[in-house]
């Protein structure tokens, strides 16, 4: 058996569930608090998307952060009360709304926030950045020869057990109890009778193959729409998307639940069929469409994980509870990085020669402020970041090739800045602040 190269390993992590995605499964160990180092701000702080869109994204993020039950945000060794973090972000948002030029906003940030840089992973960069998007696919309300794969709503027999509720009763689980991670401690299965008068037991839920090949959920009225099988598979990976019907109407679907089975990235299996330097979401789809249906389905069945959907009225919703923001929402491992935090990212973006190109002509460096609002089943560890690119084919083209090392800094308000705001002594742009690292 060939040993997978670092590129293949990284790409296998790329094909993950995304917006409004299922919580990450946690290993038993609890990570240390050494994911960050305090750093000087980058020499040039620039947002390629513009400050107006940042202000809009901050507004919803601040609102949602204020609604959460968390009492604080943890940045490695530094603990910031949630209420203090909220007022700091609100101050920044107000200054942006006031129309100050970018250089003044940047000075407010660099004077009053510390940059907590994610520690280096290797010489290429600190974090490995991939991307996800919202697919828009063709579909039907009824099964057809082309649209033969159903997208299911949550089945009635799916059992979702929150193990956090049982921690106090089982000493074996007590070490896992953590109010910031309780939504990760879940078990998915189904109830079956154990025998006459013996009650029920919980067993693992059906696999992808059992659901799609053995028709375990057929004829139960759970179908939301019918789509192409390969489109359905990638919709499961992204976690949300829009189905467009022949009459022009659209149905927007978002993540509702999962079968609890482990996620397997088929990109790892396909390394023997697609050259390493060409592997991407697009090349994987092209390969799947080039082989017989039975072979294609057997490859899809290698990933036993299965997603169930719900109808959305608006945009897809992140695990943090906000709507995704194109180019700004990122997904990280919640064990290391707090949801609702403001961060700054330096990375490279793909540039295509024309709308028909599937392979980038070049990569250009860029930077922007982002908001940590999401999680992902394969976004594990302190050096993994998934950036939400947007909706539709062009977003998918860009997201499908994103696999770049970059830098990630979390913005943490300085202690004297918090004190000044709390006391109503709001510093003017350019006011010198201390570098207190508490």
Token pair for residue 413? 């308000």
CA 134 to chain centre: 12
pLDDT of residue 93: 96
- The pTM for the full model equals 0.77
Cβ(114)–Cβ(414) below 8 Å? yes
Give the N- to C-terminal CA distance of the chain in Å, as an integer.
50
Give the CATH fold of the 17-264+303-422 domain. Ribosomal Protein L25; Chain P (2.40.240)
Lookup result for tokens 């729409």:
225
CA distance 164 to 150: 33
According to DSSP, the residues that pair with 152 across neighbouring strands are: 223
In angstroms, how far apart are the furthest CA atoms of the chain? 76
pLDDT of residue 36: 84
| Residues 6+ positions from 319 with CB-CB distance below 8 Å | 20, 21, 23, 331, 334, 339, 373, 374, 375
CA distance 228 to 147: 5
According to DSSP, the residues that pair with 349 across neighbouring strands are: 364
pLDDT in tens, the chain (438 residues): 333 333 333 333 333 333 445 444 433 333 445 678 889 999 889 999 999 999 999 999 999 999 999 999 999 889 999 999 999 999 999 999 999 999 999 999 999 999 999 988 776 778 999 999 999 999 999 999 999 999 999 999 999 888 767 765 555 555 554 444 444 567 899 988 887 777 888 999 999 999 999 999 998 999 999 999 999 999 998 888 999 999 999 999 999 999 999 888 898 889 889 987 788 888 999 999 999 999 999 999 999 999 999 999 888 889 899 999 999 999 999 889 999 999 999 999 999 998 878 889 999 999 999 999 998 766 888 999 999 999 998 999 999 899 899 999 999 999 999 999 888 776 665 444 433 333
Q: Phi and psi at residue 79, in whole multiples of 5°? A: -110, 130
**Which letter, b or e, does each residue of 165-178 get, where b requires 16 or more Cβ atoms within 10 Å of its Cβ?**
eebeeeeeeeebee
According to DSSP, the residues that pair with 250 across neighbouring strands are: 244
Beta strands in 273-397 (DSSP E): 307-311, 329-331, 341-351, 362-374, 384-391
Q: What are the extents of the domains in the chain? A: 17-264+303-422
CA distance 34 to 32: 6
Token pair for residue 297? 């389905």
User: Virtual CA dihedral for 335, 336, 340, 343, nearest 10 degrees?
Assistant: -160
Q: Phi and psi at residue 256, in whole multiples of 5°? A: -120, -40
According to DSSP, the residues that pair with 18 across neighbouring strands are: none
pLDDT of residue 332: 94
């Amino acid at each position: 058996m060939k040993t997978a190269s670092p590129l293949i390993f990284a790409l296998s992590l790329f094909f993950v569930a995304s917006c409004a995605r299922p919580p990450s499964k946690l290993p038993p160990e609890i990570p240390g608090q050494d994911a960050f180092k305090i750093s000087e701000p980058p020499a040039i702080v620039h947002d390629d998307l513009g400050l107006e869109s940042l202000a809009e994204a901050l507004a919803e993020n601040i609102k949602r952060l204020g609604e959460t039950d968390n009492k604080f945000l943890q940045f490695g060794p530094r603990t910031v009360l949630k209420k203090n973090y909220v007022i700091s972000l609100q101050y920044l948002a107000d200054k942006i709304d006031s129309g100050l030029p970018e250089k003044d906003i940047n000075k407010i940030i660099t004077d009053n926030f510390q940059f907590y840089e994610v520690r280096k992973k290797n010489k290429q960069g600190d974090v490995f950045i991939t991307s996800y998007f919202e697919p828009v696919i063709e579909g039907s309300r009824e099964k057809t020869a082309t649209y033969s794969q159903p997208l299911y709503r949550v089945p009635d027999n799916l059992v979702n057990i929150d193990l956090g509720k049982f921690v106090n009763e089982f000493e074996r689980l007590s070490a896992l109890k953590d109010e910031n991670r309780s939504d990760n401690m879940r078990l998915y299965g189904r109830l079956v009778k154990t025998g006459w008068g013996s009650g029920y037991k919980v067993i693992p839920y059906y696999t992808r193959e059992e659901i799609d090949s053995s028709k375990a959920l057929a004829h139960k009225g759970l179908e939301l729409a019918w789509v192409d099988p390969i489109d359905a598979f990638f919709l499961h990976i992204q976690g949300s998307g829009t189905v467009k019907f022949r009459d022009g109407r659209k149905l927007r679907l978002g993540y509702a639940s999962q079968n609890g089975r482990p996620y397997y990235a088929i990109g790892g299996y396909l390394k023997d069929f697609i050259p390493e330097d060409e592997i991407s979401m697009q090349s994987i789809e092209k390969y799947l469409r080039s082989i017989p249906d039975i072979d294609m389905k057997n490859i899809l069945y290698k990933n036993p994980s299965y997603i169930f959907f719900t109808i959305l009225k608006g945009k897809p919703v992140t695990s943090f509870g906000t709507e995704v923001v194109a180019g700004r929402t990122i997904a990280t491992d919640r064990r290391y990085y707090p949801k609702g935090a403001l961060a700054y990212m330096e990375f490279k973006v793909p540039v295509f020669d024309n709308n028909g190109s599937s392979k980038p002509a070049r990569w250009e460096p860029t930077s922007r402020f982002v908001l940590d609002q999401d999680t992902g089943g394969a976004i594990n560890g302190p050096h993994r970041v998934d950036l939400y690119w947007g909706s539709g084919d062009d977003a998918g083209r860009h997201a499908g090739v994103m696999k770049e090392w970059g830098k990630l800094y979390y913005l943490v308000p300085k202690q004297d800045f918090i004190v000044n705001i709390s006391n109503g002594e709001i510093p003017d742009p350019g006011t010198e602040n201390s570098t207190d690292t508490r």
